[in-house]
Each structure stands twice: as C-alpha cells, then as structure tokens.
Amino acid sequence: MVFILALLAAIALIWCLSAITEKIRLGLSLSQALLYAPFKLFYRICDSRIQLARNAQAPLIYVVTHQSRIDPALMLSLLPDDTLHILDSVTAKSIWMEPWRELARTIAFNAEHVFVSRRLVRALKGKGRLAVYIPANVEPDLRSFRLYRAVIRIAIQANARIVPIFIGGAQTLPFQASGKAPATRHWFPRLKISVLEPMNAAELLARNGSPANRNAHALFDRVAEARLAATDEDQSLFQAVRNAAENFGPGRIALEDATGSKLSYRRLLTGARVLGRDIAGRTRPGESVGIMLPNANATVLALLGIASAGRVSALVNFTAGPANIEAAMNTAVVRIIVSSRSFVEKARLEEIVQALEAVGMEFLWLEDFRASATLREKLCAALLWRYPLIRQDAQKPAVILFTSGSEGLPKAAILSHRNLIANAMQAEARVTISTDDIALNVLPMFHSFGLTAGTLLPLFNGIRLFLYPSPLHYKLIAQLAGRIKPTVMFGTDTFLAQYGRAASDGDFSSLRFAVAGAEAVRDETRKLWRERFGTAIIEGYGLTEAAPVVAVNTAIHGREGTVGRLLPGMAMRIEKVDGVAEGGRLFLAGPNVMMGYMTAERPGELQPLEEGWHDTGDIITVDNEGFITITGRAARFAKIAGEMVPLGILEVLAQDLWPQERHAVISIPDSKRGERIILVTTASKANVESLRKAGKQAGIAPLAIPATIIKVEEIPALGSGKTDYRHTRQLALEELGSSKK
C-alpha cells in the first residue's frame, strides 16, 4: 500500500512539475497546463511553433486538420482560452472531453449553421479567435470542400487572418476522427505540431504567383503546406527509408522485382549498409558513384548504400549510347560505376562498358560484391541496419540526374536529399495513397519520375512496390499487372497507350489510378483506359530540375487538358514572352527545386540557381482555380514572318487527325521566312491539305501550317518515352538533304 501511494505521489509530482514547466514555457493557464502535461509526456510533442499561433494578433481563424480524436483536446489545451472552438458532434458530446471543453468556449458543428451564420463573423470582428476543424482528407470531396469556402468567406467578412495547424504523427493514432482505424497503428507516436504564419485572404491569393487563384483553393493549398511542414525534411534518403521501416515495421515487404526477389525494409537497409561500406573503401566522401542498373531491388540497394556512405549517386541512362554516357560521366566526374554482368549481357551493353573502361572508369560488379562480402560484414550490417555509415546531411547532394536532352545536349541536375524527400512528401500531401496500395513502377530510375514518384514515394510511405526492368515489354507488363493486382501505376502517355492496347480486359482493372507525366496525355489514351479498365489517368507536370513533380491533377480535383495544380510549398513566377498573347514563361522555386547544374564545360562544379529560381522554359497559362495548362516551350516556338507559332499546338492538330499515330513538329532555319515548320509523322496518310482544313477550323493561321511532311516508320524517343526532338530534327534534315540530291 505504501509503495502504491508513493508511486501515485511520484506521478502527481511529475505531472505538476511538467504542468508548471509548460505554463511558464508556453504562457498557458494553469488549467490548460495541467491538461496538456500528459499529452506532452506521452507523445513527446514538438510544439515549438505553437507560440506563433498563440501570439498572432486577432481576429484569427485557426484551421486545424482533424485527424484523431485527441486533436481538439490538444488545441483546447494550447490555443488562447478566448478561442471559440467549433467541434464535431462526437467531440462535442464525448464524456472524456468534458475537462478540455471547460477550457474555452465551444459550439457543436452544424454544417448549415457554419455556412450561413453571421454569429461567427460577429465573434471574430475585433479581437475574436475561431478554431475550425477541417476533415483530414488529402483529396476532400465536394461536401468537405464547402467548408474551405465557408472559412475563407468568413475570414473575408471579418477581415481575419488564417493560421493552418497540422499535428504530424496523429494519423497513426488508433482513435481516428473518421472512425476508420489507421493502416499503421501506434499508441504513443511522437507528435509534431506544424503551425504556419497567419495570412489574410489577399495574402493567400498572392502567395504562389498564381494570377487569379480562387479563395477556397488558396486556403486548400495553404492547409496542404501545413501538412508538408509537419514532415521531417532534414534527413537523408537512407534515414527516410529507415524511418519508414520503424513506422511500418522492419519486416514489412518493401520491394519485389521481376526475378521474384522480395526485400523487407530490414533486409534492404542491411544490404545497403554492406554495399555502402565497400563503396566507402573505394571512394572519397562526396564523390559521385555511377549506377547502371535496371529497375530492380539491387538498384534501390545501391542508391541507399551510396547515400549511407555519404557519396552521390549518378544514375546512368544506359539507353543514351556510349558517347552520351561517357560525356555524362565526365561531367559528374565519375570513376566507379555499380552494375551487373548479367544485366549488361541481357541488355547488350558491352559496347558501353568497353567505352567507359577505355577512358579509365572502373566497374563494381554486383556479382563480385556478393561473393566477396564476409560473414562478419553481414553480421555487423544486420545488427546496425538502422544506422548510416557516416553522419548524414540532408542539404548535401544525393543524386545526379541527367536532363532528357529532348531539344539539346543533356545537363547534370544536382538534387539534394532534401529536394527528393520534399518532392515525395509534396506529392503525398496532394494525392491519396495508403499502405493498402500496391505500386507498379516500370519507368527507369535514371528518369526523375521513375525515381521519385515511382520508387521513393512508395518506399517512404509503406507502399509495397513492384519494380519491372523495362517499360517496353508491353504485353508482359499487362500480364504482370493482371497477376500482382497493383492499385497505383506510373507511366507516360506513350507507354500507357501501348499497355492499354496490349492488355486483356481485366489486366489493369485493379488500378485506382495511373499517374502520367513527361508528355501530354492524349484523349484517346484516357478513353481507352476509362472504357477498358475503368481506370482514371491523372496527369501531372514535372521536370528533372524539380525532382521532378511540379503540379498534378487528382482523382477529385482534376481538369482534363491541364497538368493540375501547383504542389504545396512551391512558388511560381510567370514572365511575359514577346509574341505570346496569353500566359508566359514559368519560373519555379521551392524545397524540391534542384541545387544547380553541372555542365561539360565545368565538370564536377556545382553551378547554383540564381536566387533559387529555375527557368523551366515552359510557356503556361493558369486558370482561376490554379489549374496549369502547358501551351508550349520557349524552345518549341517558331518565328514565321514575325509571328510566334507554338509547335505543340500543331502536334495536337496532327494527333486529332491521325490519333493512332505518332507525330513531332520541328522547325528549321529558312532564308525567306526565318523558320520553316515540318511535320514528322508515322501516319502514312498524312497530307498537307487535311492539315490546312483542320487548322482553318481550329483558327490557326495558314502560315503556321507545316508545308512539309516527312513520313517515317518510327519517331525517335528517349528512354522515358518522350519525343527526342534533337534526333528528330537531325532525321528531318537528313531526309530533306537526301531528297534534294
């Protein structure tokens, strides 16, 4: 009995001391501090940003993302006691919430009341504070989205500022506000309270450079930024996967590839540590190490092993040819390349290997590595799998990717650990995914879309990932999808169209959606997937320099013909272009935008971006809800008789006329009109007269219509499936040259 009393007294003392500490530290009332102290002790809450919410000048609306049942209790304990909290009906009636409800004024949530009430505006005017709890859906339905409209309307009428609040980690608590148990349950996760700076409606609209973004969408974007801010970007790729292992279970299967090999998080990180130690013994800290491997478990293992050793992965585009690959490796100053003899043999890459070895580059063959790894090294790695080999720095380079070079010579884009992790988390804050999903990635990792969206995003979020080595095996990929039943898939329009035609009716029926990027999605591809598989293709926009995702449609918030809306945390700047009447040239900034370039003229030297802004070279328009339409590239305009002609529109025109074929429109110098437009096409029936008629109906000036058509069996393409305009232009010039002889 004495022991029990002593124990209770010790608990009471700890409770009181903790409450006093929180009262002094945060300026809480004694009642608030006493009720907050248990949360602080149990959940080890990071609350350094809450003072921003407490000290902000009223009138204010706190917009809290409502994930778990404890969220209102936390906010009642932490927000100023003169705040009016609008609670849902369950929270307003729960018996256990009674002590917290006594801390401040509360009213029960009533949807109709919230949308029409003048009482809330009156409560805010002057020095009022209001806390509204928004459903936690990443993609809110139309009914939930009404709440965003209501909040922004009330803020405008009351001249109030808005403070978004998100409690990171609360999504894993067993008592969810939605009533649905989380896929991964933790009773006492570490919580992080994310609070953003207060902004009024006008500031929200002007924040990311969008010219006419609607109020509700601006608030929706701001709330998504609060979600993003709750994630830990200050970690390396190795640490991010390690954290996923701890969140979702070390024994959870993370990867599977076409060989049938399956890797749990623990086995993946163990193997990465063994390989990383071998690489560390051959290289210097910060040195670039090449990876020439297909989509397979070994590629991810090499990527994480190199990161663990504090080196930088230079991903080799093995479809680029010996000369381009040698130039790329010289630009990145690569001495050692990780590869596999069996892969080189199957992919017939012997010529590339010989060319690289001839200039002094060394290959680390995975077959040799497996044979040479000692039992001691394997045991040490198995014990220390959670820990990287050297101290990690999220701000340092993690990966070197080479731009597609569709219009010129490729450049080396340097992406930090933070760039890659931020981009994966930006996508996670916009598109609904869960641990119930199975992802199929056929896009090569040397392509930024295949690396970040197709590989890292699933790994960080506990999604089982299946890697397939080549996107060109159309029939085999369709059959594979029918067997493994993926729910999420990544591809380009070119590849998705081929898969859709090669598949049997049920092969892709398990997909919730397919994410398409790298090139515009054609209407016939959407129709094919919708009619055959009942699957929506959600289109996005990205570039290697942005790690790569910049904007994306979602299943609920989407608009065909656009590439979606800007990701949270990014800012855009649109500059006018001479001769372009609508829209302008897009500049981007954000946590996912690269550190800078390396070029062949200055190998190994990082050339940082000017003031953090990247010139995309893309010409865009933005509608009043923030949806972005790509109208062309600055390099994809031709100047004909003084008029700027977007070549992309002409490709769309040809695609509408001959939808089953591939088309590329290029321009070449012309002594009379400045430039000459040429259509390169696989359509054997293509003719100038049909183009002119269609152009007239579409309102395209006659001088813009290609007067020359070159028919080919195949349009040159990059490894990602995008049109290779540089080689298409060379092909056209050769064809025109031979026709003159």
**Do residue 447 and residue 573 come from a single domain?**
yes
* CA distance linking residue 674 with residue 672, whole number of Å: 6
- H helical segments located in 109-236: 111-116, 119-124, 142-158, 201-206, 215-229
CB 603 within 8 A of CB 330: yes
Last residue in a domain, options 202, 229, 256: 229
CB 121 within 8 A of CB 157: yes
User: What residue ranges of the chain have pLDDT lower than 70?
Assistant: 110-117, 179, 181-183, 208-214, 404-410, 578-581, 632-646, 648-649, 669-675, 696, 698-704, 718-722, 726, 735-741
Range(s) of the domain holding residue 725: 641-740
* CA distance linking residue 256 with residue 311, whole number of Å: 25
pLDDT tens per residue across span 255-290: 998 888 899 999 999 999 999 888 988 889 989 999
**Do residue 184 and residue 313 come from a single domain?**
no
Hey, is 617 helix, strand or coil?
strand
The two tokens of residue 389 are: 């080999």
**Do residue 184 and residue 331 come from a single domain?**
no
For residue 409, tell me if it sits in a domain: yes
Hey, is 360 helix, strand or coil?
coil
**Do residue 567 and residue 485 come from a single domain?**
yes
pLDDT at res. 152:
87
Last residue in a domain, options 592, 611, 630: 630
CB 545 within 8 A of CB 615: no
Which CATH number belongs to the domain containing residue 487 in this structure?
A: 3.40.50.12780
Catalytic annotation present for 727 = no
**Do residue 225 and residue 242 come from a single domain?**
no
For residue 256, tell me if it sits in a domain: yes
Last residue in a domain, options 209, 229, 249: 229
* CA distance linking residue 436 with residue 447, whole number of Å: 26
**Do residue 340 and residue 280 come from a single domain?**
yes
**Do residue 172 and residue 241 come from a single domain?**
no
Distances (CA, A) of 315 to 163, 285, 318, 328, 470: 41, 18, 9, 10, 16
Handedness of CA 489, 490, 493, 497 (dihedral sign): negative
Q: Which residues pair with 664 in a beta bridge?
A: 680
**Do residue 110 and residue 256 come from a single domain?**
no
**Do residue 309 and residue 336 come from a single domain?**
yes
- Which residue's entry shows tokens 């813009």? 704
Question: Is residue 602 packed enough to be buried (19+ CB in 10 Å), middle (13-18) or exposed (0-12)?
Answer: exposed
**Do residue 421 and residue 375 come from a single domain?**
yes
For residue 14, tell me if it sits in a domain: no
For residue 368, tell me if it sits in a domain: yes
pLDDT at res. 640:
59
For residue 693, tell me if it sits in a domain: yes
**Do residue 612 and residue 703 come from a single domain?**
no
**Do residue 175 and residue 317 come from a single domain?**
no
Q: How many domains is the chain built from?
A: 3
Closest CA to 614 of 457, 452, 413, 456: 413
For residue 350, tell me if it sits in a domain: yes
For residue 22, tell me if it sits in a domain: no
Which CATH number belongs to the domain containing residue 699 in this structure?
A: 3.30.300.30
* CA distance linking residue 50 with residue 660, whole number of Å: 57
Question: Which residue out of 66, 85, 614, 663 is catalytically annotated?
Answer: 66
Locate the DSSP E strands across 590-707.
596-599, 602-608, 614-622, 628-633, 637-640, 643-646, 663-670, 674-681
Which CATH number belongs to the domain containing residue 80 in this structure?
A: 3.40.1130.10
For residue 672, tell me if it sits in a domain: yes
Locate the DSSP E strands across 312-396.
312-315, 336-339, 362-365
